[in-house]
Amino acid sequence: MATVAVLGGGIAGLTAAYHLERAGVDVEVLERRHTPGGMIQSSNSGGYLVEHGPSTIRESTPTLERMIDELGLRESVVEASDKANKRFIVRDGKPVPLPSSPASFLTTRAFSIPGKIRLLMELLVEQQSNGEEESVAAFVRRRFGREALEFGADPMVAGIFSGNPDNLSVAHAFPTLPEMENNYGSVIKALLAGKGATKRKPRYRIFNFQNGMQQLISALVEQVGDVRLDTRVVGITREDRRWTVEVEEGFERTPDRLRVDGVISTLPLHKHRELSSTPLDAAPALRSVSHPPLLVIALGYPRRNVDHKLDGFGMLVPRVESGVKILGTIFTSTLFPNRAPEDHVLLTSMVGGARRPALTQQSLHEARDVVERDLRKLLGVRGEPMLMHYTSWTRGIPQYNVGYGAVKRALEQVEQTNPGFTLAGNYRQGISVPDTMQSGRLAAERLLAQL
């Protein structure tokens, strides 16, 4: 029986191990932390169910739906409230609903009348012909105008990537947009032609699980079985067509050597820099990927202490709203049931990212003050929170910046020159949970083909 070491017990690694196990491979998952899941962590405190990282899965895929069934999670899926279709943007210091239909576009206060006219003029904008890679900011400004960038793309990029649209590559971060321009000459024309609609109707649109995202991790761990926690990888080398993985386990500092037929690394790219040896040493392009720090701060309040109706998914903050420091807030208790005690609400805010990384260096007290000050101003929050949960990601989401094609080519080159070694993670197919799981599955398939 072939043996494989999966490095990293996050969602990519566990998904890869799950598919390898089902193919009859002897798999061992090595995870540095004392809990599996990577950025997917959930905790319950005083009746508040808090997500430390991703809080939703958007649009299930056939593979994900099949896994949910195989893992026995179908009855545990919780779909988002219909209110999730309503999103807010901060403009002039107030949350304003974004348009969700042509009629609401005409009346929305999220864009001015000149901004709306310029946005509709996208139908007349010529295609780019020089073939140069554009940033998200350059693409949106060219096709839709400055206001669409400031109050549309910029806060969206902050909410999804905690990134900067001036740096992010539209071709790699949002590839559908340039495809629409190339195929239809206009994004709006493509949407009118149905290009923006999913051909297949997913079983679940926006969802989570009864016990939080951690429930997906727990189900995968139960299926995979052999997951070694508190185990740090210190080196990866290839010898005689097999692989040696050096690890330090628990408090032991004497490396243990594992000999395996194949390796799937789902370690974050920056973690490879800490290893004594790794196939990624020969790929300097991978050192350029940045991971801005991010704070996730969840606050729980009695419902009577919040003036806003909280009738939506949440709110995002444009960069031009300089008086507001947070990147955005998810109305967690509106999205899903049983996220807060009865007559209480849970608000999950993001701080830092590429926009204000220095804010993540503050003390817990200072960070809480930033969030509470903004929530008082925007949502009419009053009084002391009943819950305060603080998660610090010193290296957050990988940034698909302009030139990211070189990173993807380097990843492919590493695999081609190192048979029996594959890579997976949120730096590969996309940063969403389904994309990261897809990355793990594809890495397992590539390795199976070689084994």
pLDDT in tens, 337-357: 999 999 999 999 999 999 999
Give CA–CA dist 334/313, Å, rounded: 7
In angstroms, the CA 83 to CA 102 distance is: 18
Q: What is the Cα–Cα distance from 119 to 133, expressed in whole angstroms?
A: 22
Superfamily for 3-40+217-289+400-450? FAD/NAD(P)-binding domain (3.50.50.60)
Whether residue 11 contacts residue 404, with contact meaning beta carbons closer than 8 Å, is answered with: no
Dump pLDDT digits (tens) for 164-208.
999 999 999 999 999 999 999 999 999 988 865 556 788 999 999
Q: How many residues appear in the chain? A: 451
Cα 288 to the chain's mean position, in Å? 19
Domain 111-125+133-192 classified CATH 1.10.357.10?
A: no
For 426-447, write each residue's pLDDT tens digit.
999 999 999 999 999 999 999 9
Q: Where are the domains of the chain?
A: 3-40+217-289+400-450, 41-98+205-210+292-394, 111-125+133-192
Neighbour order of strands in the sheet with 242-249: 231-239, 242-249, 256-260
What pTM was estimated for this model as a whole?
A: 0.93
**Alpha carbon 130 to chain centroid, angstroms:** 31
pLDDT digits (tens, 9 = 90+) for 213-225: 999 999 999 999 8
Q: Quote the pLDDT of residue 64.
A: 92
**Predicted local distance difference test score (pLDDT) of residue 252:** 61
Neighbouring-strand partners of residue 397? none
Confidence category of residue 73, pLDDT binned at 50, 70, 90: very high
pLDDT for the residue numbered 115: 96
Q: What is the pLDDT of residue 59?
A: 85
| SS3 at position 69 | helix
Specify the amino acid at residue 276.
S
DSSP letter string, 214-253: HHHHHHHHHHH--EE-SEEEEEEEEETTEEEEEEEETT--
| Max Cα distance, the chain (Å) | 68
- When pLDDT is averaged across residues 281-304 and rounded to a whole number, the result is 94
Residue 251 confidence (pLDDT) above 60: no
286 burial (CB, 10 Å; 0-12 / 13-18 / 19+) is buried
Rounded distance, CA 347 to CA 50, Å? 9
What pLDDT is recorded for position 159?
Answer: 95
Non-local (6+) Cβ contacts of 366 within 8 A are none
Contact (CB, 8 A) for 124 and 143: no
**111 and 342 Cβ atoms separated by less than 8 Å:** no
The reported pLDDT for the residue numbered 289 is 94
Name the CATH superfamily for 41-98+205-210+292-394: Protoporphyrinogen oxidase, mitochondrial; domain 2 (3.90.660.20)
Task: Calculate mean pLDDT across residues 361-377.
Answer: 95
The structure tokens 């202490």 sit at: 305
